[in-house]
């Protein structure tokens, strides 16, 4: 039998390194095994997925030449509170095969990647965590949250006879080519106004419209565009329907939203109302939205919208506390001394934050701290979605001065929750 120490030694002996371009197909197959996906993959899917992978930022662990662990990062833009965009190290495709787990392979790949991101000057690292328990140990904290709703259309109280937006705008059904033409500009406006949102490279639109096939089961969705009374493109939605009928021939279709964008509340309202007006559709599922999404408030009876999922979404790892705190604006004016603990030594230290609605300055200080907190908890507070009072009550943040958590909330919390509309 092998002892844990011997297993750890064996993991150390494994090669963890960036892959070569020629190794990409084997790396993708290893990732699919790690994500419990069927090993069969078409040549087209393999080629379309490989085209999105930069081998220089793609790590593999190799045991006797076989890829047994995968890890990849790519450059990403993340919107901070106030609209400034910061450079992020987006981490994805993390897997360690069931035969090689719990021998430290993830820890080795993560340490390499975060060190490289720090060296490059990225302000944060981002990821969507498969399981809650994995990433806190590396200094990540949940920073955006998501909710899904299921709308019982007959209960909404909306007038089913109404067919067009009641605000002078219009909705048109369009094809994927039109979405590729109109989508990037609209999305860019939306994401710069939403803390927690990330950029969508051209590849995102190609995948969303089926030009690139990165999943075997892709079918073309419906696409609709909303234009305001002034003719401006302000909203867009992609959805699928399921052609379900009851035994007495009642139409019972569900319209499942894949993504819905509005640069104005009016655009969001018009699109949700449109989805609830489609003949045959009795249920609308929302896809992943911010936890404080306006959807229920657009319905005469908000109880028609039932929450079906609510969870943490994007996790953040601050790589540079000073640049992160200086990249955002604040809800009020004030000073706060933060003692930030980072056991990995990537950032942290005691800093004086001088905050205002125009921005902030952050400098090392020897003044006594108001709050002591782990870098992972500061990540949860940074986008304004978590409360320092709440974290203090849970014993995660320590108040060194009475009332400091409340003061931190007055500066850092935002009226709307941060939101990352995408999975990556
Ligand atoms: C951003 C993304 O891609 S999210 C997708 C993550 N991938 C998956 O969930 C796929 C299935 N799981 C896996 O592939 C692997 O189990 C991984 C990647 C989660 C972990 O890889 P491993 O090499 O086993 O992790 P490693 O041995 O470095 O573990 C380090 C520590 O994290 C802990 N840990 C790792 N995974 C988990 C988990 N899923 N739940 C709880 N603790 C975990 C280990 O116990 C270990 O703790 P210790 O230091 O106290 O002993």
pLDDT tens profile 375-415: 999 999 999 999 999 999 999 999 999 999 999 999 999 99
- Tens digits of residue pLDDT in 133-160: 999 999 999 999 999 999 999 999 999 8
Q: Which domain holds residue 79?
A: 4-120
Instruction: Say yes or no: 308 and 277 in one domain.
Output: yes
How many A from CA of 31 to the centre of ligand 1?
14
Report whether pLDDT(9) > 80: no
Q: What is the spatial distance between Cα 202 and Cα 71, in angstroms, rounded to a whole number?
A: 22
CATH code of the domain covering residue 374: 3.30.1050.10
- Tens digits of residue pLDDT in 62-109: 999 999 999 999 999 999 999 999 999 999 999 999 999 999 999 999
Instruction: Say yes or no: 290 and 156 in one domain.
Output: yes
Structure tokens at 156: 């909404």
Integer angstrom CA distances of residue 366 from 321, 342, 349, 351: 16, 18, 10, 8
pLDDT averaged over every residue in the chain: 96
Residues contacting residue 96 through CB under 8 Å, at least 6 positions apart = 34, 61, 68, 69, 105, 106
* Residue that terminates a domain, selected from 263, 296, 312: 312
- Tens digits of residue pLDDT in 357-371: 999 999 999 999 999
Q: What is the pLDDT of residue 164?
A: 83
Q: Ligand 1: list residues with CB < 6 Å.
A: 34-35, 91-96, 101-107, 127-131, 133-134, 137
- CA nearest ligand 1 atom 35, residue: 134
Q: Residue with structure tokens 């400091």?
A: 404
How large a percentage of the chain has pLDDT more than 90? 94
| DSSP sequence for 337-379 | EEEEE-TT-SS-EEEEEEEETTEEEEEE--SPPSEEEEHHHHH
How many A from CA of 129 to the centre of ligand 1?
11
Binding residues: 94-96, 102-107
Instruction: Say yes or no: 68 and 160 in one domain.
Output: no
pLDDT band at 162 (very low <50, low <70, confident <90, very high): confident
Pocket test for ligand 1, best of 106, 108, 138, 198 (most atoms within 8 A of CB): 106
Please check whether residue 97 is in contact with residue 300, taking contact to mean a CB–CB distance below 8 angstroms: no
Q: What is the pLDDT of residue 181?
A: 98
* Ligand 1, atom nearest to 129 Cα: 4
Instruction: Say yes or no: 348 and 254 in one domain.
Output: no
In a domain, 168, yes or no: yes
Q: Given CA atoms 164, 166, 170, 173 in this order, what sign does their dihedral have? A: negative
Structure tokens at 64: 């006797």
Helices 375-382 and 404-412: angle between axes, nearest 10 degrees: 40
Q: What is the pLDDT of residue 235?
A: 98
- CA nearest ligand 1 atom 20, residue: 106
Q: What is the spatial distance between Cα 260 and Cα 419, in angstroms, rounded to a whole number?
A: 13
How many A from CA of 98 to the centre of ligand 1?
10
Q: What is the spatial distance between Cα 39 and Cα 328, in angstroms, rounded to a whole number?
A: 44
Q: What is the pLDDT of residue 8?
A: 53
Instruction: Say yes or no: 267 and 342 in one domain.
Output: no
Report whether pLDDT(4) > 70: no
* Residue that terminates a domain, selected from 280, 312, 344: 312
Binding residues for acetyl-CoA: 94-96, 102-107
Active site residue 135: yes
Please check whether residue 368 is in contact with residue 395, taking contact to mean a CB–CB distance below 8 angstroms: no
How many A from CA of 102 to the centre of ligand 1?
7
- Tens digits of residue pLDDT in 11-31: 567 999 999 999 999 999 999
Active site residue 330: no
Q: What is the pLDDT of residue 299?
A: 98
* Order of all β-strands in the sheet with 281-285: 170-174, 222-227, 233-241, 253-262, 281-285, 145-152, 305-312
* Mean pLDDT along residues 246-255: 97
Reported ipTM: the value is: 0.98
Number of Cβ within a 10 Å radius of residue 307: 12
Burial class (CB in 10 A: 0-12, 13-18, 19+), 268: buried
How many A from CA of 87 to the centre of ligand 1?
26
In angstroms, the first-to-last Cα distance of the chain is: 39
Q: What is the pLDDT of residue 12?
A: 67
Pocket test for ligand 1, best of 33, 95, 138 (most atoms within 8 A of CB): 95
Which is catalytic among the residues 62, 71, 135, 223? Answer: 135
CATH code of the domain covering residue 301: 3.40.630.30
pLDDT band at 297 (very low <50, low <70, confident <90, very high): very high
Instruction: Say yes or no: 156 and 255 in one domain.
Output: yes
Length of the chain: 424
Pocket test for ligand 1, best of 68, 69, 93, 94 (most atoms within 8 A of CB): 94
Number of domains in the chain: 3
């Amino acid at each position: 039998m092998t002892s844990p120490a011997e297993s750890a030694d064996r993991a150390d002996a494994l090669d963890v390194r960036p892959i070569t371009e020629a190794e990409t197909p084997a790396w993708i197959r290893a990732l699919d095994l790690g994500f419990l996906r069927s090993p069969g993959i078409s040549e087209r899917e393999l080629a379309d997925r490989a085209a999105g992978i930069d081998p220089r930022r793609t790590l593999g662990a190799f045991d006797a030449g076989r890829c047994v662990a995968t890890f990849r990062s790519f450059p990403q833009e993340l919107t901070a509170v106030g609209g400034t965009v910061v450079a992020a190290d987006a981490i994805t495709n993390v897997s360690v095969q069931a035969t090689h787990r719990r021998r430290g392979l993830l820890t080795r790949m993560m340490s390499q990647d975060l060190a490289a991101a720090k060296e490059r000057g990225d302000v944060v690292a981002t990821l969507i965590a498969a399981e809650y328990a994995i990433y806190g140990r590396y200094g990540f904290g949940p920073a955006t949250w998501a909710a899904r709703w299921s709308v019982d259309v007959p209960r909404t109280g909306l007038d089913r006879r109404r067919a067009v937006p009641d605000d002078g705008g219009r909705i048109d059904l369009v094809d994927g080519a039109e979405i590729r033409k109109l989508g990037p500009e609209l999305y860019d406006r939306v994401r710069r106004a939403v803390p927690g949102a990330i950029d969508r490279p051209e590849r995102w639109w190609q995948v969303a419209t089926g030009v690139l096939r990165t999943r075997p089961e892709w079918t073309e969705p419906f696409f609709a565009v909303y234009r305001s009374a002034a003719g401006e493109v302000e909203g867009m939605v992609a959805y699928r329907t399921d052609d379900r009928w009851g035994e007495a021939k009642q139409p019972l279709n569900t319209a499942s939203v894949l993504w819905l964008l509005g640069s104005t509340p009016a655009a969001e309202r018009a699109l949700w109302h449109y989805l609830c007006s489609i003949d045959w559709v009795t249920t609308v599922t929302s896809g992943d939205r911010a936890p404080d999404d306006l959807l229920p408030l657009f319905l005469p009876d908000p109880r028609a919208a039932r929450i079906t999922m609510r969870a943490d979404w994007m996790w953040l790892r601050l790589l540079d506390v000073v640049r992160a705190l200086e990249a955002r604006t604040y809800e009020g004016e004030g000073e706060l001394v933060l003692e930030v603990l980072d056991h990995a030594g990537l950032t942290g230290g005691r800093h004086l934050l001088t905050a205002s609605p125009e921005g902030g300055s952050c400098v090392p200080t020897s003044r006594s701290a108001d709050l002591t907190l782990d870098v992972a908890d500061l990540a949860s507070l940074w986008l304004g979605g978590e409360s320092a009072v709440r974290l203090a009550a849970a014993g995660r943040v320590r108040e060194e001065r009475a009332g400091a958590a409340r003061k931190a909330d007055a500066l850092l919390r935002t009226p709307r929750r941060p939101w990352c509309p995408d999975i990556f």
